[in-house]
């Protein structure tokens, strides 16, 4: 795999370097386990609901997609559980579910690559409150140990006795695909035979309040009720979500895989501000094209796009303009899933899981939240779930701040 010149970078894996995804573990809003997640998507039900976790009075937004009916003790022994924060509990539980789904333990030299958007913000808040109230000598050291973003990945490696690389990547909406790109490159190079890749995120009051105050969250506006509306002309922001999605990535799969990661493309939109999307649709198109080229296929070989669209005005516009720029009048079916489980959910992993389920089941999911398409759209996103002949699916991840990572999932190894 080779790194090309900036702003475009791609791992030239091609058909000889495709990586199998042989297991998926899900801890998601409204769904624990891959079968429950499939049922959520197939039912066309959103997990975004009014927040009861903390008080949202005085804010514009009041909804999020939260993990409920989840019992970490079902997956983690009590003495270990007490040493983990919420993020680590989500990630370790999802990792165990992924191993069970794959049907085989990973070798000890496997690696771990996780993505997270904000990491352990709540743990840091808890630690600082204890520090201020009790002083440095009495502040719980375990809280400090869990206040770093790589704590969930470290717990996974310890619990599963994995001794390969262990990295955590924070790249906003692109965190999961960036982690997957790193891990896939290491597997192709032979550094490790397999890896856990995944994402983890939690919703907390501080992050929610900040996003609300900068106007990033969906909110009621006139006669418009609060809701996440990807590609809709009335969209006014995202709803956020939490959870963890963990994937077993192998060069030689232990079972029939969900699909094969066949290509990656990466670029940067230099017109973006630090907290918003820009207008560099050509760069987004370049990242998509790089992923397609890396997969060794033609543009016409893409059978569906699982979009990054999250209901933000600039972010959605940037993506659909890039899609139209690259595909012209031959846009393949486009699916927007994030309104099912919120933005940032599982560090972006649930969107990737949905695309892998579409490949396994040979069935496209319905886009959620779209009622009145943006007037600039020259294609119609998929409105109802339907069977499809899916050989290659393009997955887009476009971050506020300018980061872009795209991936291609293929049905066949070659």
Query: Does the pLDDT of residue 139 top 80, yes or no?
Result: no
Which tokens hold the place of 69? 């009916």
Segment 267-281 mean pLDDT: 93
Contacts (Cβ under 8 Å, ≥6 apart) of 153? 91, 112, 113, 114, 166, 167, 168
- Rounded distance, CA 212 to CA 237, Å? 9
Contacts (Cβ under 8 Å, ≥6 apart) of 201? 87, 116, 117, 118, 241, 242, 243, 244, 344, 345, 346, 347
Q: What percent of the chain has pLDDT over 90?
A: 86
Query: Does the pLDDT of residue 347 top 70, yes or no?
Result: yes
Residue 10: the pLDDT is 41
Residue 4: the pLDDT is 33
Contacts (Cβ under 8 Å, ≥6 apart) of 49? 63, 64, 65, 66
Contacts (Cβ under 8 Å, ≥6 apart) of 174? 115, 348, 397, 398, 399, 403, 404, 405
Segment 80-94 mean pLDDT: 94
Residue 133: the pLDDT is 86
Residue 136: the pLDDT is 79
Segment 248-272 mean pLDDT: 96
Q: What is the largest CA-CA distance in the chain?
A: 65
pLDDT tens, 385-397? 999 999 999 999 9
Residue 225: band (very low, low, confident or very high) from pLDDT cuts 50, 70, 90: very high
Residue 278: band (very low, low, confident or very high) from pLDDT cuts 50, 70, 90: very high
- Rounded distance, CA 256 to CA 288, Å? 27
- Rounded distance, CA 366 to CA 381, Å? 8
Segment 134-159 mean pLDDT: 86
Contacts (Cβ under 8 Å, ≥6 apart) of 64? 48, 49, 51, 203, 208, 239, 240, 241, 242, 342
Residue 227: the pLDDT is 96
Pairwise pLDDT comparison (337 vs 69), residue with the higher score? 337
Residue 290: the pLDDT is 98
Reference 23, options 358, 249, 303; nearest CA is 249
Pairwise pLDDT comparison (203 vs 347), residue with the higher score? 203
Residue 7: the pLDDT is 32
Residue 16: the pLDDT is 58
Segment 76-92 mean pLDDT: 93
Q: What mean pLDDT, rounded, does the chain reach?
A: 93
Contacts (Cβ under 8 Å, ≥6 apart) of 196? 95, 98, 106, 110, 111, 112, 113, 114, 156, 160, 162, 246, 247, 248, 249
On whether the pTM is more than 0.75, the answer is: yes
CA angle centred on 208, ends 219 and 76, rounded to 5°:
130
Pairwise pLDDT comparison (148 vs 380), residue with the higher score? 380
Query: Does the pLDDT of residue 6 top 60, yes or no?
Result: no
pLDDT tens, 45-63? 999 999 999 999 999 999 9
- Rounded distance, CA 309 to CA 1, Å? 29
């Amino acid at each position: 795999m080779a790194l090309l010149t900036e702003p475009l970078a791609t791992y030239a894996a091609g058909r000889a370097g495709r990586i199998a995804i042989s297991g998926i573990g899900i801890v998601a809003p409204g769904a624990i386990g891959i079968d429950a997640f499939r049922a959520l998507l197939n039912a066309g039900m959103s997990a975004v609901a009014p927040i009861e976790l903390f008080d949202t009075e005085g804010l514009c937004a009041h909804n999020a997609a939260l993990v409920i009916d989840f019992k970490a003790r079902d997956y983690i022994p009590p003495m270990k559980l007490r040493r983990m924060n919420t993020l680590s509990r989500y990630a370790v539980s999802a990792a165990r579910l992924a191993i069970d789904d794959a049907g085989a333990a990973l070798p000890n030299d496997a690696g771990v690559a996780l993505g997270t958007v904000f990491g352990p913000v709540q743990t840091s808040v808890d630690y600082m409150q204890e520090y201020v109230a009790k002083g440095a000598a009495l502040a719980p050291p375990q809280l400090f140990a869990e206040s770093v973003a790589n704590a969930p990945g470290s717990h996974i490696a310890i619990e599963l006795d994995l001794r390969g690389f262990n990295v955590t990547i924070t790249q906003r909406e692109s965190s999961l695909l960036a982690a997957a790109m790193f891990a896939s490159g290491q597997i192709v190079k032979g550094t490790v035979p397999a890896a856990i890749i995944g994402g983890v995120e939690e919703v907390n009051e501080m992050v929610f309040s900040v996003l609300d105050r900068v106007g990033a969250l969906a909110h009621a506006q006139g006669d418009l009720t609060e809701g996440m509306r990807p590609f809709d002309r009335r969209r006014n922001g995202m709803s956020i979500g939490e959870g963890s999605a963990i994937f077993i990535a192998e060069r030689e799969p232990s079972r029939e895989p969900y699909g094969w990661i066949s290509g990656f493309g990466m670029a940067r939109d230099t017109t973006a501000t630090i907290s918003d999307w820009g207008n560099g649709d050509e760069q987004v198109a370049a990242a998509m094209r790089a992923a397609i080229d890396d997969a060794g296929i033609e543009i016409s070989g893409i059978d569906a796009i699982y979009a990054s669209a999250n209901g933000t005005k600039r972010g959605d516009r940037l993506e659909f303009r890039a899609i139209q720029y690259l595909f012209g009048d031959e846009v393949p079916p486009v699916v927007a899933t994030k309104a099912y489980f919120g933005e940032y959910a599982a560090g972006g992993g649930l969107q990737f899981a949905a695309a892998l389920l579409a490949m396994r089941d040979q069935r496209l999911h319905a886009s959620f939240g779209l009622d009145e398409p943006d007037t600039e759209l020259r294609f119609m996103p998929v409105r109802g779930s339907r069977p499809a002949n899916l050989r290659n699916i393009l997955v887009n991840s476009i971050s506020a701040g300018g980061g872009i990572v795209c991936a291609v999932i293929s049905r066949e190894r070659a």
